Structure 1
Amino acid sequence: MPNITEAYVDSLAPNAGAIKNGRDLVKKNSFPLLNESPDGTLLFGECKGSGKEPYRCSVDFVNEASPVFRCSCPSRQFPCKHALGLLYARAMGSPFTAAAVPPDIADKRDKAEKREEKKKDAAASEGEAPAAKRKVNKSALVKKIASQLEGLRLLEKLVQQVVQSGLGSVDKKTVRMIEDQAKQLGNHYIPGVQAKLREFIHTMQAEGDREAIYSRALEQLLFLHSLAKKGVSYLTKRMEDPELPMETDSSLEEQLGHAWQLAELREYGRVQPNVELLQLSFLSYADAARGEFVDAGWWADLGDGTIRSTRHLRPFRAARALKEEDTVRAVVRTEELFVYPGEAGARVRWESSTQRDAHEGDFSKVKATAASSYADVVKQVKNIIKNPLADKTPVMLVAYRSIDETADGFCLRDAQGKLLPITDLASNGRKTSSLIALLGEKELRDQAALVMFSHRLDDNRLSAQLMSIVTDSRIIRLLY
């Protein structure tokens, strides 16, 4: 059984409401019966409900990385507040009595064990031969690609039309026309392109400084133009030879709209074994163009210091039924880390994991991997941003000798005395510069900072925003 802390239980809850409700059950003494199995792999008990009979709930840790939640309540939320309350009771120090595993749970364990044995037997019967490559329906693939190419060519004509007319000529009538085009793209299997076009529409409809809006819109048009051009070139080659492997050296497939399956990532060798990750920053925001909430996390690989990212997507219409991600303060350990195709800060995902408390050695290890030369960092960031389809807000961990205040604002200073100006980026809607004044003298010197970069088209300069401070003993989160 893992070390059950309140933070660990918080990480399992589907949303903030479930956290509150689960904690309230413990505070109200709603558990007249709290038990655990003699081997410590099962917590089970009874919780008072609205009916005459209490709800029977349990959390099974036979597989520590994938706990199984069970409850007799009718809630569609998973895990329900009763199962969470059971865990909060353990985390908050409520006494549990040793008791035998209930017969119904023992029976379910046996059935699950038999299913696993069948899987192992099937795998063993196949020997050590690698998994067979998925068969491709060439005819269906060619038809799909033909439709995608048609959609991209429609986009090319639209972008050319807007550029020739000028952004100043984009009125309400033009916006409606572009919206109709965006709807048409929905029939061409390129949802990623469709979402990017909707982002452009949202930008043109925004209120505020028109110069800033046009700069943002121009950048989006450049992206759409490059996506259409590279997409046509790539898909044309795949149409000529359907046996060609999918693009994995960049995020082009995902930008077109492909949803990578874990089986595909495994097939292309994008799996890393036995990885430990420490979350450095977390941010939730609403993406109106895509119609979804995004729970974004930035992590450091404790093995080599590589910065990774996670994105948990919750469509507006189904947000209540989906688990809401939150800050993770523990170290996450997974036997298989799936790495999505992409450039710096590639997105990752895992199926199962365990957690352990983070200690000072973890923080020191991460801090030691921070880039020490700002000249090298700026060069690397510029090379990333030069790619029209790359992430325009790359995130990097940089070391600093000090955080200084100048006439133009705060800046980071490296060991060579080079300065990196600090600002607040409009792209994430959060301000962190004002929090620098709250840092202590120790945090202002000889530490590391996770920063998000952005390129300003108006003056062709890089901007950087502080996300977190990493010291030898803790992480101070500023972007939240």
Structure 2
Amino acid sequence: MSQQGADRTADQQAPPVSDQASGPVGGEPGAPGAWSETGWSDDGVVWGLYGGTGTGGGAQHRTAIDTGAVSAPAYRCSCPSRREPCRHAAGLLALRSAGDGPVPRTEAPGWAARWAADRRGREDEPGASSAEGGAAAEGASATESRAVAAGPADPEAARRRARRRAERVTAGVTELEQRLADLLRGGLAAAERAGAGAWEEAAARMVDAQAPGLAARVRELAAIPDTGPQWPVRLLEECALLHLLVRGWLRRELLPDGLAATVRSRVGLPASADGPGVRDHWLVLARYDTADARLTTRRIWLHGIASGRTALLLSYGAAGRAPELSLPVGLALDAELAAYPGTGQQRAALRERFGAPEPATARPPGVTTAGAARRYGDALRDDPWLDGVPVTLDRVVPVPDGAGWQLADADADTALPLTPAACSRSGLWRLVSLAGGTPVRVFGEYGHQGFTPLAAWPEGPGEVVPLC
């Protein structure tokens, strides 16, 4: 989520705060570094500790948000502000809208679970009011709070909250569909004249509708106009994919279970890796980080030596901080992984380790360049919004291709172009040096922009060479 989008979302939730009582105590409330012990639960509760000695001193505030409220989120914060929501709650809500990274999915602490259970018990009573602010929650007696134990969630209440969120998402999706129709009716040139402001407004509306996945895709559209002679074509393609996602959500009951789960994930609904686990010796193929002003994301690709599966682990850290999960490339980990729902889903959760990583000589099996193209095409049938697939190419040679590079199949007259980003990395020269004009085996990600090499092995004996 961009800084502009986060600021807008926070502003929509609460106007600029002028009272010093709720002012910053350790950084801006929308910045990940100002928070600690953040998290969210499947039933829609978000929490965190703002400020304190860990972020520059000052008082520490407990903040919680119940996004499963009937008409609007409910807030709790220990700061003395009388505004609803206070700037801490607004900042935490904006931070959660950025995705699962800065606010991970985990078990709610006792204070947040008790507050949520208490207010939901009152909300579900006949005639109970759905409006509840942070000041009212903070003013509840300590005896009342301690009396409400955090027990198992009420399945019926959880279904009601899920139904209310689906209704909010549907309202946002319907509005987005109308915006896309207006864009095409007025012509793509209007997108260039309107600038990024119109897209940001639409993205903020998707955040309000609790559809952060749609918000991210809308913001990607804003970066396309006026970026080269073919930008109208790229914009039309992305609008078509977004329209397909919108229609998928509106008709999700008619989709196969796997594709429906993929649509929910792409829209931005939370999902849990609660399926059966797969224990294997997982070879660490590649590890690399991407970062923006708010978040550092680490991607770790694994290959199951016995199962033959390829899995992706994601780990997050606040901006400027490395994520905690660190697995060295080339080692094998005896562990159990559980996949996230969705057809063709590669992402998994590390459920349990059974020992420390150990050296391994195994390599993933490779395919031809033509086989890689077929694999990507097959994957698009399951997930049309997929950017790329993990694939290992066997017996390919890196060769120049005009201003770029490509991986040529040593045994056939076919090749895959490298992405522009791959051509600008130092890893390309490590790959060229390793190959020396001879075939090598290369693991990477292949998508509509080309192939990005992440690791390579020489044709004969030899260890893996990281390329990222």
For 2:290, the equivalent position in structure 1 comes to 285
Q: Deviations over 1:39-95 (max 9, x none)?
A: xxxxxxxxxxxxxxxxxxxxxxxxxxxxxxxxxxx9969xxxxxxxxxxxxxxxxxx
For 1:425, the equivalent position in structure 2 comes to 420
**Superposed displacement of residue 139, structure 1:** 3.0
**Superposed displacement of residue 352, structure 1:** 3.5
Amino acid at match of 2:456: I
**Superposed displacement of residue 388, structure 1:** 6.3
For 1:224, the equivalent position in structure 2 comes to 242
Amino acid at match of 1:256: V
Q: Structure 1 residues 432 and 344 mapped into 2: Cα distance closer, same or farther (>3 Å)?
A: farther
Distance 1:440 1:416 in 2: 15
Q: Structure 1 residues 196 and 404 mapped into 2: Cα distance closer, same or farther (>3 Å)?
A: closer
Asked if the contact 1:469/1:476 (under 8 Å) is kept, the reply is yes
For 1:378, the equivalent position in structure 2 comes to 373
Show structure 1 runs of 5+ residues with no match.
1-73, 78-131, 239-244, 457-462
Pairs within 5 Å for 1:83-162: 135-137=155-157, 138-162=159-183
Q: Deviations over 1:233-286 (max 9, x none)?
A: 11x669xxxxxx97577522221112223xxx32xxx23232221222222113
Asked if the contact 1:374/1:420 (under 8 Å) is kept, the reply is yes
SS in 1 for 2:448: strand
For 1:450, the equivalent position in structure 2 comes to 443
Q: Structure 1 residues 139 and 425 mapped into 2: Cα distance closer, same or farther (>3 Å)?
A: same
Amino acid at match of 2:155: K
Asked if the contact 1:300/1:307 (under 8 Å) is kept, the reply is yes
Distance 1:149 1:466 in 2: 39
Asked if the contact 2:280/2:306 (under 8 Å) is kept, the reply is yes
SS in 2 for 1:211: coil
Q: Structure 1 residues 220 and 355 mapped into 2: Cα distance closer, same or farther (>3 Å)?
A: farther
The answer to whether the aligner puts 1:164 opposite 2:185 as a matched pair is yes
Show structure 2 runs of 5+ residues with no match.
1-51, 56-151
Asked if the contact 2:280/2:307 (under 8 Å) is kept, the reply is no
Q: What is the count of residue pairs matched by the alignment?
A: 317
Distance 2:54 2:241 in 1: 41
Asked if the contact 1:452/1:464 (under 8 Å) is kept, the reply is yes
Asked if the contact 1:343/1:390 (under 8 Å) is kept, the reply is no
The answer to whether the aligner puts 1:302 opposite 2:305 as a matched pair is yes
Q: Deviations over 1:73-119 (max 9, x none)?
A: x9969xxxxxxxxxxxxxxxxxxxxxxxxxxxxxxxxxxxxxxxxxx
SS in 2 for 1:350: strand
Identity %: 14
Q: Which TM-score applies when normalising by structure 2?
A: 0.58
**Superposed displacement of residue 165, structure 1:** 2.4
Distance 1:228 1:335 in 2: 37
**Superposed displacement of residue 345, structure 1:** 6.2
Amino acid at match of 1:470: W
Q: Structure 1 residues 197 and 404 mapped into 2: Cα distance closer, same or farther (>3 Å)?
A: closer
Pairs within 5 Å for 1:344-363: 344=344, 346-353=346-353, 354-360=355-361, 362-363=362-363
Pairs within 5 Å for 1:25-424: 135-137=155-157, 138-171=159-192, 173=194, 175-204=196-225, 209-234=227-252, 247=258, 250-261=261-272, 265-266=273-274, 270-286=275-291, 291-314=294-317, 316=319, 320=321, 323-326=323-326, 328-329=328-329, 331-344=331-344, 346-353=346-353, 354-360=355-361, 362-363=362-363, 366=364, 369-371=365-367, 373-385=368-380, 389-400=384-395, 402-404=397-399, 410-414=405-409, 416-424=411-419
Distance 1:404 1:195 in 2: 36
**Superposed displacement of residue 142, structure 1:** 2.3
Amino acid at match of 1:350: L
Asked if the contact 1:370/1:397 (under 8 Å) is kept, the reply is yes
Amino acid at match of 2:366: A
SS in 1 for 2:359: coil
Distance 2:331 2:369 in 1: 28
For 2:144, the equivalent position in structure 1 comes to none
Q: Structure 1 residues 424 and 470 mapped into 2: Cα distance closer, same or farther (>3 Å)?
A: same
Distance 1:260 1:383 in 2: 24
**Superposed displacement of residue 436, structure 1:** 3.8
**Superposed displacement of residue 414, structure 1:** 3.9
**Superposed displacement of residue 228, structure 1:** 0.6
